[in-house]
């Protein structure tokens, strides 16, 4: 088919040609005028920028000379930036910046070229002051009440693009010095002798602390495509961060870190950032993490990050690789209308030995050399809506498939099946050796311990001990809830199995590594039946701390009551169970005549009712043996009538001036959290405490604080 031929009169063609020609000439003339005036326009823009920096940020910006050195390249010399009343922030001898013209027409500043020669950026921290606090001034000025909520996806999109737009496709940087001076105690110096981007290829050389080390950041950068792949490494040694060593007393080093940004784009209402991050031979040493070096040999994450209007999330499509083991994490933090925290972890069924080999070196010292066979699968689920913390969800399951221990590691996890020596520690120092076996006159077989004590302790500490496999999810869940509500750690979720493992097999260092090791050892013992429940309970009863330098039920029953463990009545059993979470204040619970203080009565009634409902003791309306508990006469001389004063220096069992390590967490158990003495009783009975020995005063203050805090809970429960 042929289109019909359109005949346009020649006069119209001539008119059109004249219009286009006139417009072209006008554009050339305007361009010429603008080009001739550009220097003046530049000076006005520079002056405006300097004034704005001073007005908004209190910055004294000086530029010795500024002018065009090409069609779109601005050159500046002798630049300095000094915050008001602070140290100089930066100085630059020569700087040339070229921008892309077409993005500039729509208001976007994309840097096409950057050249810098000889500059210095100095951050100075002095006490609470820094030469960066001008940023906070701007925030305060801009903080009038917001009428609209920030869309996080838009914010992430804008920030990432702002960063990428400022990365030039061509760059030449020489002798840029960065220094950090933190109160003259920790200093860092990084001199970039050369940093070049040539058509997206990045190469750089950075001298650390005057030739102490040489770093490199190399790779490919394509900001217009929102892609980059860079690697960070050092010459012939690890990358170390000396600032952390000096400032935080921590060691951090690695061979290489690789960062790859693959894509960033909207996916519906969410902004999705896809990339990967990997690290080789990461070494971490910090007293809060572990007492030794922790080494992650090979780790990588392929990550999909989602930023929605009101949330930030690491999507479950992400994969973490640790050697030959893999797992899929899911993290989500929702900001509004309520803060919501979500964490999920899923590891597909995989080789158990590969999973163990994936653990960082040094994390589980006692299990080094452990050999297993079979497979395992892991799932974790955590969900917390801050507006309704009681509805917190928590579950954690490590599921074995034909799992079997072939060879135990460095520590014999079955040593407690026979006679062994237990050494309690206090502040890192051994107290004394205690033989857990017949040669110790205070050792008490499980069959010779009164059921009154056994039932009371299991009821208060671990009611499901004989049915769980080392962990009680509900107890852990409630611990999360209480700790979140109190905004501090006040309750743990430890079972008897966990307490036993912590004291017998592990160091006394309170670190994240020790806690992780404790959890894994409990799982290995419980799920592989390395030790029977009866033996675990027997050992626990014989090593548990129950007073100053008092360990085990044998020592405790004779110390407080002059009885053997088999002779304990219901009241004595409940009392001894009560002191387990906080054994050092046991003596403060007695009055001068050896009877218990009245504030303990509700505890006995509450505990007794639970035991009676479970058929563990007969019902009793008089207090379940409360009035029958009497401290043995030999100790009453250290209790003064109508006073909380206690002289612990004369105890006849060990050195009372020492404080052995606790068998329990610092927080009290369920029943101690529910009951405490009245305010009137606290005031009347605690007169004259100023004369108490130092360690006794500390324990008593702890008891008084706990009782005052719990009084409202007690009244609410009893009413």
**Residue 541 or residue 163, greater confidence:** 541
Confidence band of 16 (pLDDT split at 50, 70, 90): low
Tokens of 590: 């007695």
What pLDDT is stored for residue 703 in this prediction?
59
**Residue 718 or residue 192, greater confidence:** 192
What pLDDT is stored for residue 688 in this prediction?
29
What pLDDT is stored for residue 18 in this prediction?
54
Rounded to an integer, what is the distance from CA 670 to the centroid of its chain? 26
Comparing 54-58, 539-543, 678-682, which segment has the lowest mean pLDDT?
678-682
> How distant, in Å, are the alpha carbons of 78, 495, 573, 607, 609 from that of 614?
84, 20, 16, 11, 9
For the chain, the straight-line distance linking the first and the last C-alpha, in angstroms and rounded, comes to: 97
What pLDDT is stored for residue 7 in this prediction?
61
What pLDDT is stored for residue 349 in this prediction?
96
What pLDDT is stored for residue 658 in this prediction?
29
Percent of the chain with pLDDT over 90: 51
Mean pLDDT of 369-385: 95
What pLDDT is stored for residue 59 in this prediction?
87
What pLDDT is stored for residue 537 in this prediction?
97
The answer to whether the Cα torsion of 60, 62, 68, 72 is positive or negative is negative
Q: What is the pLDDT of residues 559-569, one digit of tens each?
A: 999 999 999 99
Asked if pLDDT for residue 714 goes beyond 60, the answer is: no
Percent of the chain with pLDDT over 70: 79
What pLDDT is stored for residue 353 in this prediction?
95
Asked if pLDDT for residue 364 goes beyond 70, the answer is: yes
Q: Measure the CA–CA gap between 570 and 457, rounded to whole angstroms.
A: 11
Confidence band of 187 (pLDDT split at 50, 70, 90): confident
Asked if pLDDT for residue 694 goes beyond 50, the answer is: no
Asked if pLDDT for residue 333 goes beyond 90, the answer is: yes
What pLDDT is stored for residue 652 in this prediction?
36
What pLDDT is stored for residue 676 in this prediction?
39
Question: For domain 411-718, is the CATH number 3.40.50.300?
Answer: no
Tokens 């409630």, residue?
Answer: 478
**Residue 46 or residue 679, greater confidence:** 46
What pLDDT is stored for residue 30 in this prediction?
45
What pLDDT is stored for residue 127 in this prediction?
77
What pLDDT is stored for residue 395 in this prediction?
94
Q: What is the pLDDT of residues 378-398, one digit of tens each?
A: 999 999 999 999 999 999 999
What pLDDT is stored for residue 233 in this prediction?
94
Asked if pLDDT for residue 376 goes beyond 70, the answer is: yes
Q: Is 12 helix (H, G, I), strand (E, B) or coil?
A: helix
Confidence band of 490 (pLDDT split at 50, 70, 90): confident
Q: Is 385 helix (H, G, I), strand (E, B) or coil?
A: strand
Comparing 239-253, 261-275, 631-645, which segment has the lowest mean pLDDT?
631-645
Tokens of 285: 């040493």
* Three-class secondary structure assignment of 520-577: HHHHHHHHCCCCCHHHHHHHHHHHCECCCCCEHHHHHHHHHHCCCHHHCCHHHHHHHH
Mean pLDDT of 351-377: 92
Comparing 327-341, 422-436, 463-477, 677-691, which segment has the lowest mean pLDDT?
677-691
The answer to whether the Cα torsion of 533, 534, 540, 541 is positive or negative is positive
**Residue 609 or residue 147, greater confidence:** 609
Q: Where are the domains of the chain?
A: 37-118+126-136, 151-169+177-309, 328-410, 411-718
The answer to whether the Cα torsion of 357, 359, 360, 361 is positive or negative is negative
Q: Measure the CA–CA gap between 95 and 168, rounded to whole angstroms.
A: 13
* Helix orientation angle between 10-57 and 134-141, rounded to the nearest 10 degrees: 110
For 433, counting Cβ atoms within 10 Å of its Cβ (0-12 exposed, 13-18 middle, 19+ buried), the class is: exposed
What pLDDT is stored for residue 456 in this prediction?
97
The CB density around residue 382, as the number of other CB atoms within 10 Å, is: 17
**Residue 38 or residue 689, greater confidence:** 38
Confidence band of 140 (pLDDT split at 50, 70, 90): low
Confidence band of 292 (pLDDT split at 50, 70, 90): confident
Q: Is 326 helix (H, G, I), strand (E, B) or coil?
A: strand
Q: Measure the CA–CA gap between 246 and 110, rounded to whole angstroms.
A: 39
Asked if pLDDT for residue 614 goes beyond 90, the answer is: yes
Residues 6+ apart with CB under 8 A from 55: none
Average model confidence (pLDDT) across the chain: 82
Q: Measure the CA–CA gap between 434 and 420, rounded to whole angstroms.
A: 8
| Cut 0.85: pTM above it | no
**Residue 499 or residue 31, greater confidence:** 499
Comparing 234-243, 444-453, 530-539, 662-671, which segment has the lowest mean pLDDT?
662-671
Asked if pLDDT for residue 443 goes beyond 80, the answer is: yes
Report which of 530, 549, 656, 640 is spatially closest to residue 594, judged by C-alpha positions. 640
Mean pLDDT of 552-573: 96
H helices of 128-194, in order, are 134-141, 152-165
Mean pLDDT: which of 23-27, 138-142, 316-320, 703-707 is highest? 316-320
């Amino acid at each position: 088919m042929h289109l019909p031929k359109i005949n346009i009169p020649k006069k119209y063609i001539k008119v059109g040609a004249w219009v286009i020609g006139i417009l072209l000439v006008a554009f050339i003339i305007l361009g010429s005028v603008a080009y001739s005036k550009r220097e003046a326009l530049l000076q006005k823009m520079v002056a405006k920028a300097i004034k704005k920096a001073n007005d908004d940020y209190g910055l004294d910006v000086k530029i010795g000379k500024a002018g065009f050195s090409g069609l779109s390249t601005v050159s500046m010399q002798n630049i300095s930036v000094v915050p008001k009343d602070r140290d100089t922030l930066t100085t630059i001898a020569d700087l040339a910046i070229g921008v892309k013209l077409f993005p500039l027409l729509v208001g976007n500043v994309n840097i096409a070229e950057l050249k810098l020669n000889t500059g210095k950026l100095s951050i100075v921290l002095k006490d609470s002051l820094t030469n960066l606090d001008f940023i906070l001034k701007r925030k305060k000025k801009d903080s009038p009440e917001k009428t609209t909520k920030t869309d996080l996806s838009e914010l992430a999109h804008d920030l990432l693009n702002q960063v990428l737009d400022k990365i030039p496709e061509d760059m030449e940087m020489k002798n840029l010095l960065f220094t950090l001076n933190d109160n003259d105690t920790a200093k860092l110096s990084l001199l970039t002798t050369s940093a070049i981007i040539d058509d997206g290829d990045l190469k750089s050389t950075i001298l650390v602390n005057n030739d102490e080390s040489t770093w490199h950041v190399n790779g490919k950068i394509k900001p217009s495509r929102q892609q980059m792949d860079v690697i960070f490494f050092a010459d012939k040694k690890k990358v170390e961060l000396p600032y952390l060593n000096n400032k935080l007393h921590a060691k951090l080093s690695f061979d290489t870190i690789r960062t790859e940004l693959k894509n960033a784009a909207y996916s519906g209402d969410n902004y999705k950032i896809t990339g990967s991050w990997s690290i080789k031979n990461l070494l971490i040493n910090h007293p809060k993490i572990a007492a030794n070096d922790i080494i992650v040999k090979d780790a990588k994450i392929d990550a999909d990050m989602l930023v929605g209007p009101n949330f930030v999330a690491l999507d479950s499509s992400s994969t973490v690789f640790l050697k030959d083991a893999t797992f899929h994490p899911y993290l989500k933090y929702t900001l509004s209308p309520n803060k919501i925290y979500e964490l999920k972890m899923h590891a597909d069924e995989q080789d158990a030995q590969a999973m163990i080999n994936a653990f960082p070196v040094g994390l589980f010292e006692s299990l080094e050399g452990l050999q297993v066979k079979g497979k395992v699968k892991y799932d974790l689920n955590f969900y917390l809506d801050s507006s309704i913390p009681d509805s917190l969800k928590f579950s954690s399951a490590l599921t074995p498939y034909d799992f079997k221990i072939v060879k135990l590691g460095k520590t014999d996890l079955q040593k407690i099946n026979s006679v062994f020596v237990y050494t309690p520690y206090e502040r890192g120092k051994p107290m004394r050796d205690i033989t857990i076996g017949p040669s110790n006159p205070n050792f008490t077989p499980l069959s010779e311990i009164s059921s009154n004590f056994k039932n009371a302790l299991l009821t208060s500490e671990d009611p499901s001990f004989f049915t769980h496999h080392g962990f009680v999810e509900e107890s852990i869940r409630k611990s999360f809830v209480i700790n979140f509500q109190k905004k501090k750690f006040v309750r743990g979720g430890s079972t008897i199995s966990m307490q036993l493992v912590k004291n017998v097999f592990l160091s006394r260092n309170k670190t994240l590594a020790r806690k992780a090791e404790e959890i894994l050892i409990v799982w290995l013992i419980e799920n592989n039946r390395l030790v029977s429940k009866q033996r675990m309970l027997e050992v626990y009863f014989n090593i548990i701390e129950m007073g100053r330098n008092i360990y085990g039920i044998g020592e405790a029953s004779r110390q407080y009551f002059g009885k053997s463990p088999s002779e304990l009545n219901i009241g004595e059993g409940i009392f001894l169970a009560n002191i387990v979470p906080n054994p050092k204040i046991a003596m403060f619970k007695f009055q001068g005549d050896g009877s218990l203080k009245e504030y303990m009565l509700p505890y006995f009634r509450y505990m007794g009712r639970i035991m009676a409902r479970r058929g563990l003791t007969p019902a009793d309306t008089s207090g379940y043996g409360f009035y029958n508990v009497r401290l043995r006469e030999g100790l009453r001389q250290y209790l003064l009538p109508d006073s909380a004063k206690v002289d612990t220096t004369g105890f006849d069992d060990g050195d009372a001036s020492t404080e052995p390590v606790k068998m329990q967490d610092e927080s009290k158990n369920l029943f101690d959290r529910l009951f405490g003495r009245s305010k009137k009783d606290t005031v009347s009975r605690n007169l004259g405490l100023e004369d108490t020995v130092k360690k006794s005063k500390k324990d008593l203050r702890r008891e008084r604080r706990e009782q005052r805090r719990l009084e409202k809970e007690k009244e609410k429960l009893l009413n």
